[in-house]
Chains A and B, each alone.
Chain A
């Protein structure tokens, strides 16, 4: 099946300007050569710690920020270099849900108008037809159509995230890019939104690029998972393989660090030393070698490439 999204060697570098003349004095390698593809109806989970570039991947794929280089292929067309006008039909295929349901909804628009706006912008529906579509979307995400006239501040965080999802669904996209969609929500509300996203996928064959730092949530919702560290994917596999047989020492450490809600499991944790290095000065060789418990001499000089270690399971580590 042709993927709904194929990303090849995506890079996003930000120049750092400083001094009186605003000279470029450095570069932040936010995303540095990322490739993946998402099949129809499939969820790719993208995990990593803050500053690893996962949100920049989402924004670049959506062309909310311009990629430095690389290909973003949607329906056979590379959209990385398209003009705004040429990009427009592809925007209908990909929609985004953001982390913060407080800042991502216009406080001066009613919930109904927020969900209606994409229909009007893309000339899909207007008037009565649009009203009916909005009411149907409200019902679909578990909101009462009677709440269409209410404003964002009158909704709770979970309900606001439902409005965001309804807005993303309005144009019948094939892919939703969800950037930490449940991390701002309370535990009991998280489950409601995760279940809603999974129900929508089952009913409509939606694909998700699901970005989160919570490994348990990602495992629950994803089919495939990619782990990022300092702008690069270090491991990529189907969910079961990645969680049961992590190959990269970073993935191993991440999984080991997750607090498990079961006091009977007293695990010995593999604690990582130190902090994530600055993406302005990624370490030479393997970027993880400064924190890796197994690092050898060659890790400090030679950057590992992604290799297939088991069918469909790739990792970038010299030692595996």
Chain B
């Protein structure tokens, strides 16, 4: 049993019906977000991490997408079993989401203040004046200077970093229990990324919100998360605490990823050597091989890997991995 779960995802399966055939974007994914923690979901494009996030919010475009199996329990209530009207009362209220591109996820014809106030009035029985006051207060909390002035501005008048702060203000306006952040800093410059990550962590500690952080950046994972789920080709292939995952990655893909990124030598003291490549590329989700999806790129693959999908097993305390050879590999 996991202590104090807030969000429990079990057996989630999301598919897309496309011209190229059935795309299994999320295949039997389970994980638990604990109260007050930051859980990172990491993987490359097409691994299913963003579709997992959208599935939790029931925002998968349908058609062509459909959640065909699984449960998403927020404090015990299965969000996949409730009506759309009930779900609308959850989104932005109990569970919020921020996206990668703040310019396209903000409404360009409403001021930032109106967009925050709108969220507040949707979920709370408050007057317009009170909602506006809350909007200004939220902009202050995300450390936007002159919040009363900024609330009257439109998204295009703000810089990229300011827009992402405004997005966070909208997401946190109703004190959600869970915040899903899908690549929240990927579109930002590195100094702005550092500001936003720092802000998110501070707010998370102030409010006790649990955060599901979707990212491709292992550096961001290492600096923000307590636990990590690694995804590949729609499946969860590894899960561990952040310390354990970086110290002892057990899946050959995770291991390969960590060795393929250059490290700042000034930080790690390492001499620049040749980067370790992962050969080949991610398989198309519409045409997955039988067996382990990583086998074609894996140096340890043998007949067993092609024969069947490896189950996720606990190989070390609280360290789960889906690999037939996890027992023999370091």
Q: A residues within 8 Å of B by Cβ?
A: 49-50, 156, 158-159, 186-192, 194-195, 198, 213, 215-217, 219-220, 240, 243-244, 253-265, 267, 269, 271-272, 275-276
The interface residues of chain B lying within 8 Å CB-to-CB of A220 are 262, 272, 275
- On whether the beta carbons of B260 and A191 are closer than 8 Å, the reply is yes
The interface residues of chain A lying within 8 Å CB-to-CB of B223 are 259-260, 263
- On whether the beta carbons of A158 and B281 are closer than 8 Å, the reply is yes
From known contacts A195-B275, A264-B243, infer whether A187 and B222 are also in contact, taking CB-CB under 8 Å.
Answer: no
B45 CB-CB contact with A under 8 Å: yes
Q: A188-B257, A220-B275, A257-B191 are in contact. List 12 more A-B contacts (CB 8 A).
A: A188-B260, A191-B261, A198-B274, A254-B190, A258-B219, A259-B220, A260-B219, A261-B218, A263-B223, A267-B267, A269-B198, A271-B194
Q: Closest CB of chain B to A234's CB: distance in Å?
A: 14
- On whether the beta carbons of A263 and B242 are closer than 8 Å, the reply is yes
Q: Closest CB of chain B to A94's CB: distance in Å?
A: 26
- On whether the beta carbons of A215 and B281 are closer than 8 Å, the reply is no
Give 21 A-B contacts (CB < 8 Å), ordered by A residue: A49-B189, A49-B191, A158-B281, A187-B216, A187-B218, A187-B260, A188-B256, A191-B275, A194-B262, A195-B274, A195-B275, A198-B274, A243-B265, A257-B190, A260-B264, A260-B267, A261-B246, A261-B258, A262-B222, A262-B246, A271-B198
- On whether the beta carbons of B258 and A188 are closer than 8 Å, the reply is no
- On whether the beta carbons of B246 and A216 are closer than 8 Å, the reply is no
Q: Closest CB of chain B to A140's CB: distance in Å?
A: 17
Q: Closest CB of chain A to B9's CB: distance in Å?
A: 24
- On whether the beta carbons of A217 and B262 are closer than 8 Å, the reply is yes
The interface residues of chain A lying within 8 Å CB-to-CB of B159 are 275
Complex CA distance for A10 and B29, rounded to whole angstroms:
54
Q: Closest CB of chain A to B319's CB: distance in Å?
A: 14
Which residue of the partner chain, among A156, A187, A265, A276, contacts B261 with CB atoms under 8 Å? A187
- On whether the beta carbons of A186 and B282 are closer than 8 Å, the reply is yes
B312 CB-CB contact with A under 8 Å: no
B266 CB-CB contact with A under 8 Å: yes
Complex CA distance for A192 and B45, rounded to whole angstroms:
16
The 7 closest A-B pairs by CB, nearest first: A259-B219, A220-B262, A257-B194, A191-B260, A49-B189, A188-B278, A261-B218
Complex CA distance for A258 and B262, rounded to whole angstroms:
12
Q: Closest CB of chain A to B263's CB: distance in Å?
A: 6
Contacts across chains A and B counted by CB atoms under 8 Å: 132
B277 CB-CB contact with A under 8 Å: yes
Which chain B residues numbered 282 to 301 have a C-beta less than 8 Å away from chain A? 282
B195 CB-CB contact with A under 8 Å: yes
B217 CB-CB contact with A under 8 Å: yes
Q: Closest CB of chain A to B318's CB: distance in Å?
A: 15
CB closest chain-A residue, reference B272: A220
Q: B residues within 8 Å of A by Cβ?
A: 44-45, 159-162, 189-195, 197-198, 216-223, 242-243, 246-247, 256-258, 260-268, 272, 274-279, 281-282
- On whether the beta carbons of A191 and B193 are closer than 8 Å, the reply is no
- On whether the beta carbons of B190 and A192 are closer than 8 Å, the reply is no
Complex CA distance for A264 and B242, rounded to whole angstroms:
10
- On whether the beta carbons of B189 and A261 are closer than 8 Å, the reply is no
Complex CA distance for A192 and B44, rounded to whole angstroms:
15
Which residue of the partner chain, among A158, A189, A253, contacts B191 with CB atoms under 8 Å? A253
The interface residues of chain A lying within 8 Å CB-to-CB of B162 are 275
- On whether the beta carbons of B261 and A259 are closer than 8 Å, the reply is no
- On whether the beta carbons of A260 and B222 are closer than 8 Å, the reply is yes
The interface residues of chain B lying within 8 Å CB-to-CB of A188 are 44, 256-257, 260, 277-278, 281-282
From known contacts A158-B281, A213-B189, infer whether A261 and B261 are also in contact, taking CB-CB under 8 Å.
Answer: yes
From known contacts A186-B216, A276-B189, infer whether A215 and B277 are also in contact, taking CB-CB under 8 Å.
Answer: no
From known contacts A261-B218, A261-B263, A263-B242, infer whether A213 and B272 are also in contact, taking CB-CB under 8 Å.
Answer: no
The interface residues of chain B lying within 8 Å CB-to-CB of A192 are 277-279
From known contacts A158-B281, A188-B277, A220-B275, infer whether A261 and B191 are also in contact, taking CB-CB under 8 Å.
Answer: no
CB closest chain-A residue, reference B195: A271
Complex CA distance for A257 and B272, rounded to whole angstroms:
20
The interface residues of chain A lying within 8 Å CB-to-CB of B219 are 258-261
- On whether the beta carbons of B278 and A191 are closer than 8 Å, the reply is yes
CB closest chain-B residue, reference A266: B223
CB closest chain-A residue, reference B297: A188
Q: Closest CB of chain B to A220's CB: distance in Å?
A: 4
The interface residues of chain A lying within 8 Å CB-to-CB of B274 are 195, 198
- On whether the beta carbons of B190 and A186 are closer than 8 Å, the reply is no
The interface residues of chain A lying within 8 Å CB-to-CB of B261 are 187, 190-191, 216, 261
Q: Closest CB of chain B to A165's CB: distance in Å?
A: 15
The interface residues of chain B lying within 8 Å CB-to-CB of A258 are 190, 219, 264
CB closest chain-A residue, reference B161: A275
Q: Closest CB of chain B to A296's CB: distance in Å?
A: 21
- On whether the beta carbons of B195 and A272 are closer than 8 Å, the reply is yes
The interface residues of chain A lying within 8 Å CB-to-CB of B197 are 259
- On whether the beta carbons of B222 and A261 are closer than 8 Å, the reply is yes
Q: Closest CB of chain B to A19's CB: distance in Å?
A: 19
Q: Closest CB of chain A to B38's CB: distance in Å?
A: 12
